[in-house]
Structure 1
């Protein structure tokens, strides 16, 4: 078994976000790996700031993504799309040298209060990631709808369907990461 580094990006800054819980649940189900939870609390993208140099936190995020064997992105759905936090992070990382996303295995998950569980946000995120050319897994799509009811007291997913889909997605992500690390 290869020592893998798994990076998680959560599109919500709130510590108690169910998307953060879902990201951590996904990392747990990924299996043995060094897990790094990326910091997306970045300044708003501003070309004037960029002209002065890429902020250290942005460069650290890009370097973290570049060093990963695989990435999990947990996206909330805000107003039928991805959060400003997540879009801002994608915009900033796109301004760094190189392309840390290129050929990177990526799994997308979402949790939302509504029954659909973030389907629109996932579709939008796929479109936003496409120019960077990562290896975004096509599925299974993991949507945790009515998310406030899907977690036990210890912060673990208690929805059998969600667990099954997440296990399958994380198995595929692990396989992709191991193949990539061996090439």
Structure 2
């Protein structure tokens, strides 16, 4: 049997974002898998753009990646008590594609933020954003990495045993969900 495909979506575009690091750390702790990092640098959703030019190629590629993945990990920063606009925009665009690639897809959600709650509110809102798509959301353990700038080493790995153990448990549940 081949390794499963794990898709990572970071709600932050920065190359060295702690949310990008968190999706990569999730992939490491998930175990043997083909890890694909999604590119959420998409145009802003605009119904006129969609009407004139259809679904942009980058959006269709993201929808296809979601459909092809065995499981998805999403990490969101918290901006003004909610997920990033980048992540919401990606969800809005993908919702406009022909099929619902999220349907019954195993999904683990996590967050990394500078505040003491570690993006807890953003994660709660993100979960509500996903409900219409009907994925199989892993309900816990919840991971909210607080004070994120001080939680990763130079290799991008979590330095807190508590956070690492929680992420490892979450990845075990996600892996079990796909039967791998």
Deviations 1:61-84 (CA, angstroms, capped at 9, x unpaired): 000000000000010000000000
SS in 2 for 1:178: coil
Compute the TM-score of the two structures, normalised by the length of structure 2.
Answer: 0.97
Give yes or no for the alignment of 1:29 onto 2:24.
no
2:60, 2:114 → 1: CA distance? 33
SS in 1 for 2:178: helix
Shift of 1:3: 2.1
Give yes or no for the alignment of 1:66 onto 2:67.
yes
Alignment-derived partner of residue 175 in structure 1? 176
Give yes or no for the alignment of 1:12 onto 2:12.
yes
Q: Gaps (5+ residues) in structure 1?
A: none
Shift of 1:178: 2.1
Alignment-derived partner of residue 124 in structure 1? 125
Aligned length: 179
Q: Gaps (5+ residues) in structure 2?
A: none
Taking the TM superposition and a 5 Å limit, the aligned residue runs for 1:20-59 are: 20-51=20-51, 52-59=53-60
1:2/1:178 contact within 8 Å kept: no
Deviations 1:159-179 (CA, angstroms, capped at 9, x unpaired): 111011000000000011227
1:11/1:82 contact within 8 Å kept: yes
2:153, 2:17 → 1: CA distance? 14
SS in 2 for 1:103: coil
1:89, 1:35 → 2: CA distance? 19
2:106, 2:65 → 1: CA distance? 14
